[in-house]
Chain A
Amino acid sequence: MLPTKKSPPKQDLADLTVLVYGPSKIGKSTWCSRSEKALFLATEPGLNSLEVFHVPIRTWEELLAACGEIAEGKHPFKTVILDTVDNAYRMCSDYICAKFKIEHESDLGYGKGWALINNEFQRVLTKLAFLPYGLFLVSHSQEKEIETRTGKYIRIVPTLPDKARKIVLGMVDLILFCDLEVTSDESGKPVYRRVMRTKPNPHYEAGDRTGRLPETIDLNFQAFMEAFNKPAAAPRASAPRSVPAPGDGQDEKPASTGK
């Protein structure tokens, strides 16, 4: 039952959980559609221009049923794309409200409604993430005013509600922010480039636990895979454990009584 050796860092994108977010029509779904044997769980319309395998999802129950079929493994798909995770969360909310016969999450009092929704949402996403398929979660972006100790500023974050956002950020290996980078050409005209930002920044949320990706990369799946498949830097899985500090243990046996 217990392991006899350490698990190696994940090498394959199909093993990872990825959050892709950005403004509408920038190309998030197109980017995801290029992944290996992709299956879209489409909670919102918008895939019309793409030739993809997709399951229309209208309710949380439909999502659970689709996840059940995916878990059975009798299919050729290797990457599951939940497009969008924002709508999935809303469906989860409707499901919990209907189950507990309430109109609004706050009707259960003391935050119980919200807690039930978040638990159900986390349960399903965690189960999906543990399946042997890549999991891509797609979200839109929004500007949020952040009040810190030193002042306020605007930050671009996924459109999920706050608690759901924290759940998702904690689950994923990559947080990829799709953005439009504006530069000037030789004549001074603006040049627009669709990019993905992969490293944390005060003005947007992003992250790369694999340590493989450059800070900015073209919003192009092939370019992304080339960068991802380069020899990896040290992965950043979690916070380091504390290391013993000089002087530790000095107090166990006092040198003098002091009296």
Chain B
Amino acid sequence: MEAKTTTTYSMWSLFRNCRKACEWRYIHELVPLERDRNLAFGTVIHKCLEIWHGGRELAPVLDFIDRTYVERAQNEDAKRNWHMATAMMMGYAACYPVEEFEIVVLEKTFEGGIVNPATGAPSRSFVLAGRVDGVVRIGDQHFLLEHKTASQVDADYLERLWTDFQIVLYSAYVEQALGIRIAGILYNILVKARLQQGRGETEAEFETRRDGLIAKSKTGKSGAKRRLPESDDEFQGRLLDKYTEPGMFHREMLYLSRDRFETLESELWELTQAFLDARRRGVFYQNTAFCFHYRRPCAYFPLCRADGSTNVIDNLYQKVSPHEELRDETSFEEVSAF
């Protein structure tokens, strides 16, 4: 008997958004050679939160950040991320000195069948696997803990949480795996500060600026001083101040509707059938409306534009087995493509 194929929410979500991208990732097992720095930062913060909630000690968290960005002295990106992660986690620890919840489990991986809602029969082709950030208890109710890093939290962002197909789906599987009823989701949102370290100005830049000010001045003089680069300590202090502001950390609790489970179970089944049909016929069509969905090209845009050119595959992509997010040891270093 054939082993069932493990699938994840990421795979079904991508299949729903663009079948072609899904084919590149899950059939051809391709990912871009260069890793996405935005996703990498989010993954580092997830690991930091796992360490923090595991022991509520800041030292091992900061040690992990130091080790992650060990090349920060030579690399500007690493230095920027080190500053951000350090200030974010120090701010987080200060913001939540005492938690209202009790941790039941952290980084829980699960696997379960996909069921035909019409017959109740499990799929003979697929199982669904996933990983949740945690399960917490508040009073006598259990909630899934879901960490998110965001550039900003506005009304649209909060509205979108209600449409989070993934977490509602995961709740049902966690209920099966742990045998506890999940009342809702606790979203733990950390906002990325938009501050930049001041780079100062060169002597020539200062002269140009001062000349401009003098030209506008009625007295023909200017008291302008050259802007010096901001030191690491000054920048870290400014970031820490930023993380004392309200709104840099946000928690949102959503209660789950039981009816949503059934709707999502049905949708998931339909996706499996559409996938089987696409794979049988070898046709995974492109959804061009998704190419710039996040206001930047999809990871597979260069490949689609080149009609799957082997030159592009060989030089810009590499083969990586699917479902990296389920792997324990390296998951914080290896970043999901989506």
Contacts and interface: CB of A to CB of B under 8 A. Distances in A.
B280 interface: yes
Contact of A251 (B37, B272, B305): B272
B276 A252 contact: yes
Interface in B307-324: 307-316, 318, 320
Given A242-B279, A258-B120, A259-B120, A146 B33 contact: yes
B309 A250 contact: no
Chain A interface size range: 35 or more
Given A150-B334, A247-B125, A256-B121, 6 more contacts: A148-B318, A149-B35, A171-B306, A206-B315, A239-B308, A248-B280
A205 B311 CA distance: 9
B233 interface: no
Chain B interface size range: 35 or more
Interface stretch (A59-67, A80-88, A162-170, A222-230): A162-170
Given A247-B124, A257-B120, A258-B119, A200 B280 contact: no
Q: Which of B2, B115, B311, B333 has the most CB of A within 10 A?
A: B311
A255 interface: yes
A209 B310 CA distance: 7
Given A147-B35, A169-B309, A205-B315, A242 B123 contact: no
Contacts of B126: 251
Nearest to A205: B315
Contact of B311 (A149, A170, A251, A254): A170
Contacts of A48: none
A76 interface: no
A239 B310 contact: yes
B181 interface: no
Contacts of A248: 125, 276, 279-280
Contacts of B312: 166, 169-170
Interface string B21-36: 0011001100101110
Nearest to B26: A242
Contacts of A200: 311, 314-315
A148 B27 contact: no
Interface of B: 2, 23-24, 27-28, 31, 33-35, 37, 115-116, 119-126, 272-273, 276, 278-282, 284, 295, 302-303, 305-316, 318, 320, 333-335
11 contacts: A167-B302, A169-B306, A169-B309, A170-B303, A239-B308, A241-B282, A249-B276, A251-B124, A251-B125, A251-B273, A258-B120
Contact of A169 (B28, B307, B311): B311
Contacts of B303: 170, 239
Contacts of A169: 302, 306, 309, 311-312, 315-316
B132 to A, nearest CB: 23
A39 interface: no
Contacts of B320: 149
B282 A146 contact: no
B309 A252 contact: no
Going nearest first, the 7 A-B pairs with the smallest beta carbon separation are A170-B306, A200-B314, A207-B311, A238-B308, A239-B308, A254-B121, A258-B121
Nearest to A248: B280
A243 B311 CA distance: 22
B23 A242 contact: yes
A231 interface: no
A98 interface: no
A180 to B, nearest CB: 21
Contact of A255 (B121, B295, B314, B318): B121
A146 B317 CA distance: 12
A206 B307 CA distance: 18
Contacts of B272: 251
A248 B305 CA distance: 29
A236 B307 CA distance: 12
Contacts of A244: 279-282
A258 B116 CA distance: 10
